[in-house]
Structure 1
């Protein structure tokens, strides 16, 4: 009788562990993400820089490589610059770097998001 109870207890523990592992191995639900390159935000139409979006994005990319904030040729460069943050390849940059890029490339267009290969929800 004790052996039967022990076997049942062990079987239940194995079954519960198996169910728990199966639940943990389920993939996270996919979130609709889009990769964006360009400028979004308010006051875009009023700005002359909007006509040179490709040039602006290329200038920022070159500056990132020049300052070695990302390694050229190490994969796809991704960044997003706005008035709150500067994220390069998923890493938020220090405030002094953020302010320098914001002042140089955004000027008074503080409601912009300048992105290259940036994944957004």
Structure 2
């Protein structure tokens, strides 16, 4: 009987320890993330659009909502748009959507990343 109680107690301690370690790792991952809002990339200084980065980001955000590409709370909108991908709230958009936004908002600035609340490691 005493051995059973000891085994159960030991098993509970091990499970709690494993759970604690997993939670700490998850917390560390979240803490190491960087949230970016703005335009990054080459040739930014050469473009007049960079002076209107806030306006450009707001315009893209409004277009995303207008096209109903997001259905949840738009206050938590997150995206990255560049010449290779368009990810909204963690969901990679179809190539046709990415191309349409790329052509409209990035144009010849092929090395740009336009981000709003985008989390990177």
Q: Same fold (TM over 0.5)?
A: yes
CA RMSD of aligned residues (A): 2.2
Identify if the C-alpha distance between structure 1 residues 110 and 78 changes in structure 2 by more than 3 Å, giving closer, same or farther.
Answer: same
Q: Unaligned 5+ residue runs, structure 2?
A: none
Q: Secondary structure at the match of 1:43?
A: coil
TM-score by length of 1: 0.80
Larger Rg: 1
Contact 2:65–2:74 (Cα < 8 Å) also in 1: no
Aligned residue-pair number: 116
Q: Unaligned 5+ residue runs, structure 1?
A: none
TM-score by length of 2: 0.80
Structure 1: distance between partners of 2:28 and 2:65: 32
Structure 2: distance between partners of 1:76 and 1:16: 41
* 2:103 matches 1:100: no
